[in-house]
């Protein structure tokens, strides 16, 4: 008797946690899931957003020589250089250098080393940044951590309050309701969502709550040096000529394989104690930690090979690798993308169900309660269709803003946030059903229109891209097209609001 009443209160509190925690954090979680899903194709989106440059394959040695030459010209007094060698999905040669606290970045033609005059853009990196810290630094990281915790709590409480979901799921008892859409997509993506949320949480909590680092280390740099990710070699302050970097590359490739080097770091270039580190790509293993080898930059003497990692460093980087999904080529990337989309549908269906369930009920309640539900409806719309419009508008902005505009990357991001804000205003202005229908239609239109605007403003429209075998560009267009058609079908199915 007592036991059943305890169970009842437990179920009720779990149900309320799921409902209200899911609602409040669902708005944030949908945005995090959607941008995270897009971030799977960060490199491809960046490629699409820089349409002026389409390189032919370049040997790593050529690219490194080009970077070396340019950095000697423009950054000879820097503390460190970072060179990102061209890869299959990112043919541009990216170099950056750090002097004191300032880091500067240039994009180079990997063959000639000339600074590219392409349009300035954050590219797909913005989605990754928004996904992990909401484009707002440490506060964003805390919010994302909180949302991840609530996501996990929602999984646990969701399973507790509907224990028969698994049975229903496997017996294919699927009804065409918002609740069933929420539950069935939830069961379907449960392993994925559990994995992606927990691994994400490990990464963010390590950033915001570095308790053991505080207790055991004087500073973070010490930790990274001990892990083997940072060199602690101090400059001698004696000038000496740096060896041509491409002379050292074959030594690193002997160790890690031809074409396997992705990053080259140079510490104290032009100093007698310069250190050149080559970092191996991690695209063929899950753990996202690149083996590395260091040489003295003046004498070429081998300083150390780091390919055996502390087992727990490896474990954490293994989880990180499972999160960022760079290990299995396009098969794994598309699987993550699809699972991410279904996760988005799960969250969206839950949010919609919250209001659908209460719509008939609250039409009879007091004005204050009605007002609260009106706000929830509007926030739901802006959180689901609004962020979708903002994401696709970001890609449109990339094509439509003047190419030589000042602060162009920031302007693209301003478009993202500005459009999102406008969808919120629109959601308050229109009646709920109308807002849903119009915003879904808007998303669908922008998605279907993306290949068109791309074809009109660049030389790499859908057909030319396919003709040239540039599938990275064509796939962005095609994916937008497919998603657009699906969203249009969804918009079509929303009942026309009654005229009042």
Partner 1 sequence: MNSSLIKSYVWLNNILKSQTQPVQTILRIFAAVLGGYVVTYSALAALALLLPWPRVSVVFFSALFPGIIWLGALLWAFAAPTAQRAWRDLFGVTAFFSILALVASRMH
Q: How far is CA 480 from CA 395, 472, 476, in A?
A: 10, 13, 6
Whichever of 27 and 436 has its CB closer to partner 1, that residue is 27
Q: Tell me, what DSSP letter sits at residue 219?
A: S
Supply the minimum distance, in Å, between the C-beta of residue 226 and partner 1.
5
Whichever of 213 and 247 has its CB closer to partner 1, that residue is 213
What is d(CA 160, CA 421) in angstroms, rounded to the nearest whole number?
36
Task: Work out the angle between the directed axes of helices 125-133 and 178-208 (0-180°, nearest 10).
Answer: 90
Q: What are φ and ψ of residue 213, in 5° steps?
A: -65, -45
Within 8 A by CB and 6+ apart from 295, the residues are 248, 251, 275, 276, 277, 301, 302, 303
Whichever of 151 and 384 has its CB closer to partner 1, that residue is 151
Output the six-digit token pair for 420. 């999102």
Give residues in contact with partner 1 (CB under 8 A): 6, 9-10, 13-14, 16-17, 148-150, 152-153, 156-157, 198, 201-202, 205-206, 209, 211-213, 215-217, 223, 226-227, 310-313, 315-316, 319
Q: List, as one string, the DSSP characters of 302-367.
A: EEEEE----HHHHHHHHHHHHHH--SSHHHHHHHHHHHHHHHHHHHHHHHHHHHHHHHHHHTTS-H
H or E element that contains 17: none
H or E element that contains 379: helix 367-381
Supply the minimum distance, in Å, between the C-beta of residue 307 and partner 1.
16
Supply the minimum distance, in Å, between the C-beta of residue 377 and partner 1.
23
Supply the minimum distance, in Å, between the C-beta of residue 291 and partner 1.
17
Whichever of 121 and 199 has its CB closer to partner 1, that residue is 199
Whichever of 239 and 311 has its CB closer to partner 1, that residue is 311
What is d(CA 18, CA 11) in angstroms, rounded to the nearest whole number?
10
Whichever of 315 and 365 has its CB closer to partner 1, that residue is 315
Supply the minimum distance, in Å, between the C-beta of residue 304 and partner 1.
16
Supply the minimum distance, in Å, between the C-beta of residue 13 and partner 1.
5
Supply the minimum distance, in Å, between the C-beta of residue 215 and partner 1.
5
Whichever of 227 and 240 has its CB closer to partner 1, that residue is 227
């Amino acid at each position: 008797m007592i036991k059943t009443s305890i169970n009842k209160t437990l179920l009720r509190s779990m149900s309320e946690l799921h409902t209200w925690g899911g609602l409040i954090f669902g708005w944030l979680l949908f945005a995090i899931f959607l941008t995270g899903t897009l971030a799977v194709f960060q490199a491809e989106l960046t490629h699409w957003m820089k349409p002026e440059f389409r390189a032919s394959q370049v040997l790593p040695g050529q690219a490194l020589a080009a970077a070396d030459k340019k950095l000697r010209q423009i950054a000879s007094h820097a503390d460190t250089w970072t060179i990102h060698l061209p890869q299959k999905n990112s043919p541009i040669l990216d170099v950056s250098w750090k002097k004191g606290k300032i880091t500067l970045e240039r994009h180079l033609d990997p063959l000639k080393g000339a600074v590219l005059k392409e349009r300035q853009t954050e590219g797909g990196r913005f989605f990754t940044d928004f996904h992990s810290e909401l484009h707002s630094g440490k506060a964003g990281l805390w919010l994302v951590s909180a949302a991840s915790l609530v996501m996990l709590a929602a999984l646990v409480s969701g399973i507790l309050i509907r224990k028969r979901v698994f049975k229903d799921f496997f017996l294919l008892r699927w009804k065409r309701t918002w609740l069933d859409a929420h539950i069935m997509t939830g069961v379907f993506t449960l392993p994925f969502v559990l994995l992606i949320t927990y691994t994400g949480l490990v990464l963010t909590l390590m950033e915001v709550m570095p308790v053991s680092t505080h207790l055991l280390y004087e500073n973070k740099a010490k930790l990274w040096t001990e892990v083997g990710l940072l060199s602690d070699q101090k400059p001698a302050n004696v000038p000496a000529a740096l060896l041509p970097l491409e002379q050292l590359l074959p030594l690193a490739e002997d160790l890690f394989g031809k074409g396997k080097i992705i990053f080259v770091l140079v510490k104290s270039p032009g100093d007698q104690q310069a250190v050149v580190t080559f970092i191996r790509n991690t695209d063929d293993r899950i753990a996202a930690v690149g083996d590395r080898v260091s040489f003295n930059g003046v004498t070429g003497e081998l300083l150390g090979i780091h390919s055996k990692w502390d087992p727990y460093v490896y474990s954490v980087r293994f989880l990180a690798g499972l999160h960022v999904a760079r290990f299995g080529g396009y098969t794994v990337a598309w699987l993550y993308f699809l699972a991410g989309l279904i996760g988005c549908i799960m969250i969206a269906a839950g949010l919609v169900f919250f209001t659908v369930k209460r719509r008939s009920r609250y039409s009879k309640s007091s004005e204050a309660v009605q007002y609260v539900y009106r706000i929830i409806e509007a926030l739901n719309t802006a959180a689901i269709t609004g962020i979708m419009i903002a994401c696709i508008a970001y890609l449109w902005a990339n094509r439509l803003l003047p190419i030589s505009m000042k602060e162009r990357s920031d302007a693209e991001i301003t478009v993202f946030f500005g459009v999102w804000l406008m969808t919120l205003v629109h959601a308050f202005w229109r009646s709920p059903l109308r807002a849903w229908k119009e915003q879904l239609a808007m998303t669908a239109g922008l998605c279907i229109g993306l290949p068109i605007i791309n074809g009109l403003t660049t030389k790499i429209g859908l057909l030319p891209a396919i003709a040239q075998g540039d599938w990275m560009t064509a796939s962005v267009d095609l994916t937008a097209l497919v998603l657009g058609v699906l969203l249009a079908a969804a918009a079509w199915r929303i009942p026309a609001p009654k005229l009042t």
